[in-house]
A = this chain, B = another copy of it.
Amino acid sequence: MRALTHPSRENLQLASVFHALSDLVRLEIVRQAAVREQSCAALSVNVSKSTLSHHLRVLREAGVTRTKIEGTHRYVSLRREDLDARFPGLFDAVLRILDTSTDDTSADDGAGAESP
């Protein structure tokens, strides 16, 4: 249990990465993790703990994120270097799109009312 499974860089599969990105909750996690490393609790997506844990596993096992254990916390970060090495340009585009997008990927409560 302690050792979380992370696929090696060479084993990253394009289809698996796309599958990991094919869910709104996970896209939102990716967006938040891209900004800075996040503890699971710090991620604002409103799903239950177990569901969040499930999504984090999908992302981790696809090689999109890395989970670092520190005490009782898990810190989630994007594997930018590995992803960029294996899939050049892909996450540059993905993150730019997530940043630009009309936030229809937002799965959190956040009152949602942006547009200043």
Contacts and interface: CB of A to CB of B under 8 A. Distances in A.
Contacts of A70: none
Interface of A: 13-16, 18-19, 21-24, 27, 87-90, 92-94, 96-98, 101, 104-105
25 contacts: A14-B21, A14-B27, A14-B105, A15-B21, A15-B22, A15-B23, A15-B27, A15-B105, A16-B22, A18-B19, A18-B21, A18-B27, A19-B19, A19-B22, A22-B22, A87-B97, A88-B93, A89-B89, A89-B92, A89-B93, A89-B97, A90-B90, A90-B93, A90-B94, A92-B93
B101 A14 contact: yes
Q: Is the interface of A mostly helix, strand, loop or mixed?
A: helix
Contact of A97 (B14, B19, B96): B14
Nearest to A23: B15
Contact of A15 (B13, B15, B24, B93): B24
